[in-house]
Amino acid sequence: MNWRDAIEEVAKYAPAVATALGGPAVGGITAGAATMVTSALGVRNSPAALVSALEDPAKREALVRLNNEHERELISIRLQAETAQAQEETKRLSEVNQTIRAELATEGWWRAGWRPFNGWMLSASLAAVNFGLLAVVVRDPTQLPVVVDVLIWSVVAQGAVQGINIKKRSDDKQVMMGRAPTSFMDAIRKDKG
Q: pLDDT tens digits, residue range 141-193?
A: 888 888 888 888 888 887 888 788 778 877 877 777 777 777 767 767 766 65
C-alpha distances out from residue 192 to 36, 180, 185, 186, Å:
61, 20, 11, 10
Cβ-proximal residues to 125 (8 Å cutoff; 6+ apart), any chain: 154, 158
Residue 90 has pLDDT above 90, yes or no: yes
Give residue-wise pLDDT tens across range 8-66.
Answer: 888 888 887 887 777 544 344 566 778 888 888 889 988 889 888 889 899 989 888 88
Q: What is the pLDDT of residues 137-153, one digit of tens each?
A: 899 988 888 888 888 88
Q: Where are the alpha helices (DSSP H) in 24-70?
A: 31-41, 47-53, 57-69
Whole-prediction pTM value?
0.41
Burial of 137 (0-12, 13-18, 19+ CB in 10 A): middle
With the CA atoms of 113, 119, 123 and 125 taken in that order, what torsion angle do they form, in degrees rounded to the nearest 10?
Answer: 80
